[in-house]
Amino acid sequence: MTISVNPYQSGAVSSAVKPAAQETQQTAVLDEARKAAAATPEGQRAQLGAQILQASFEVSISAGDNSMALLYRTAIDNINEQLAPEFGPNALQGAMQQDNSAEATADRILSQSTAFFDAYARQHPNEEPEEVVRNFVNLIRGGFEQGYNEAANILSGLGVMGEGSNIAAEIGKTFELVQKGYDEFLQTKLQALQAEKEGEDAAE
């Protein structure tokens, strides 16, 4: 995957004004993003795609960085919505990172969302521990999947998710890594509960 370098970060290019042709091309990409967003069922939320592209204006959409940033942003926003009734708005921090690889993006989504488990469990003291774990994972998984679908719809509208697309491959890899991470988190918690239960039984 070839990534266009941001001249303001790399220092490779001075702060001179970019060629008008490049700005025109980038503006056209943003216009396409807005049109694609407006055509999706999510309406105003889908406008997020254009906002992400605007925020990372110096990087080409074809590079993939903006695509991963979009996936991360929509995932965090949707998980936040799922957690909001119990933890208030914007429970997760949505700060962008420079490393937008599939692995790094998945790690950030997983670490931020699963970190709320203990707080979630404390708010459900009267439920069976196993049920608390399952409900929590279902909650954050549902938010992630909704965010993924929104990001994929926007990127499809931009025509960058076709067969053989590196962007599609990276987005798909991130999806699989997050799902695997949620499965492993669930199994680890359930195994710990089982071991605790066996220990209590042995002590009686």
Q: Which domains does the chain have, with CATH numbers?
A: 71-198 (1.10.132)
Q: Among 62, 10, 53, 7, which residue's Cα sits nearest to residue 30? A: 53
* Model pLDDT, residue 174: 96
pLDDT tens by residue, 118-151: 999 999 999 999 999 999 999 999 999 999 999 9
66 or 113: which carries more pLDDT confidence? 113
The helix/strand/coil state of 160 is: coil
pLDDT, position 90? 85
**Percentage of residues in the chain having pLDDT higher than 70:** 64
**Confidence class for position 198, pLDDT limits 50, 70, 90:** confident
* Cβ contact 101:173 at 8 Å: no
**Which one has a higher pLDDT value, 30 or 178?**
178
Residue pointed to by tokens 């998945």 = 106
Helix H, strand E, coil C: the string for 81-143 is: HHHHHHHCCCCCCCCCCCCCCHHHHHHHHHHHHHCCHHHHHHCCCCCCHHHHHHHHHHHHHHH
Alpha-carbon Rg for the chain, nearest whole angstrom, is 20
* The overall pTM is greater than 0.75: no
Nearest CA among 34, 51, 67, 64 for reference residue 152 = 67
Q: Report CA-CA distances (Å) from 56 to 6, 60, 98.
A: 9, 8, 11
Q: How far is the C-alpha of 167 from the C-alpha of 203, rounded, in Å? A: 54
Under the banding of pLDDT at 50, 70 and 90, the label for residue 16 is very low
Using CA atoms, how far apart are residues 35 and 197, in angstroms rounded to an integer?
Answer: 55
Whether residue 15 has pLDDT greater than 60: no
